[in-house]
Amino acid sequence: MGQLLQREVKTIDASTFTGLAQNFGSATAIVSTKASFINASDVTVEIDDGTGQDAIVLPAGATLSVGEGLLQEGKALNSQASYPIGTQLTITAAAGTGTVVAYLFGGP
């Protein structure tokens, strides 16, 4: 029997951007196996997950989904995660108008 997905939502107002990296909400509280990012602002943003890999560059008005969102039987949930529990996303952009939203889907 599969597990029900949980959801965590992070929203940030583009008027708070300073051009420097800042926390995109608090650290993740769920094991995220799928993430969707919506840039409903008028500026390009960079979203970094702290792994040292390239940041996600999301132009104004763009959306992006990453991860499968599927759970595999018999595998530890945290090993399947796009973003394990405790991941601190950061966002970098110049000040603008609008919002950026991250929807994280996964389990406890």
For 60-81, write each residue's pLDDT tens digit. 999 998 876 555 555 554 455 5
**Predicted local confidence at residue 97, as pLDDT:** 98
Q: How many CA atoms lie within 13 A of 108 on its CB side?
A: 2
Answer yes or no: is pLDDT of 2 > 70.
no
Helix (H) or strand (E) holding 99: strand 98-107
Q: 51: buried, middle or exposed (CB in 10 Å: 19+, 13-18, 0-12)?
A: exposed
CATH of 6-107, one of 2.60.120.10, 1.10.3720.10, 2.40.160.20, 3.30.2130.10: 2.60.120.10
Average pLDDT, the chain: 85
Domain regions of the chain by residue span: 6-107
**Predicted local confidence at residue 1, as pLDDT:** 46
Indicate yes or no: pTM above 0.85: no
Answer yes or no: is pLDDT of 96 > 80.
yes
For the four alpha carbons of 103, 26, 5 and 71, in that order, the dihedral sign comes to: positive
Answer yes or no: is pLDDT of 24 > 90.
yes
Q: Give me the percent of the chain exceeding a pLDDT of 90.
A: 57
- The C-alpha atoms of residue 69 and residue 103 are separated, in whole angstroms, by 12
- The C-alpha atoms of residue 77 and residue 74 are separated, in whole angstroms, by 9
Q: Where are the alpha helices (DSSP H) in the chain?
A: none
